[in-house]
Amino acid sequence: MAKLSVRAAAAQFEVSRPTLSKWLKSGKISGEKLPQDEGGGWLIDSAELARAGVKPRSASKPEAVNAESPEGGKLTGIGRGLPGNVDAEVSALKAALELEKAKREAAEGLAEERARHIEDLRRMLPAPEAGPQRKRWWPW
């Protein structure tokens, strides 16, 4: 689906910008935070808003929607944010999925390696010694 800015999502769906910001911060909907050099805003997938139960605004004529694909190319569509070239977006999403799978596998391998290293370090530590018992202040 198309990625929309908070402003565009508020204009396209029946929800205000502060509500969208609150939902993003609370985790009710997920979004992609842009770096500060690109404006620092949020990109929200229109499917996330549909999942949250937000209805699109009824308009007399469809508005053109501009969004970015995961590879950075512009996608344009009419109405509810559907891209003009679905095949290009599908292939871009498949490529992004493969990249994320590779990142996940690398992270899992790193986590397993670190867990083995921690276990080795724990085995090297000496066993804790039982020190002298402290005498209580009150005799009973």
* The dihedral formed by the CA atoms of 69, 106, 31 and 60, expressed in degrees to the nearest 10: 30
Query: What are the residue ranges in the chain where pLDDT is below 70?
Result: 1, 58-84, 140
The predicted structure's pLDDT at residue 3: 83
Residue 61 has a pLDDT of: 44
Residue 12: per-residue pLDDT: 84
- Residue found under tokens 């799978």: 101
pLDDT at 113: 95
- Determine the pLDDT at residue 74: 53
Show the tokens assigned to 42. Answer: 């949020």
Residue 51 CA to chain centroid, in angstroms? Answer: 15
pLDDT at position 79 is: 43
Which one-letter DSSP state was computed for residue 52? T
Residue 67: the pLDDT is: 52
Site of tokens 């950075």: 72
pLDDT of 20: 86
pLDDT reported for residue 94: 92
What are the tens digits of pLDDT across the range 67-106? 555 555 554 544 444 556 788 888 889 999 999 999 999 9
66-88 exposure pattern, b = at least 16 Cβ within 10 A, e = fewer: ebebbeeeebebeeebbbeeeee
* Three-class SS of 18-58: HHHHHHHHHCCCCEEECCHHHCCCEEEEHHHHHHCCCCECC
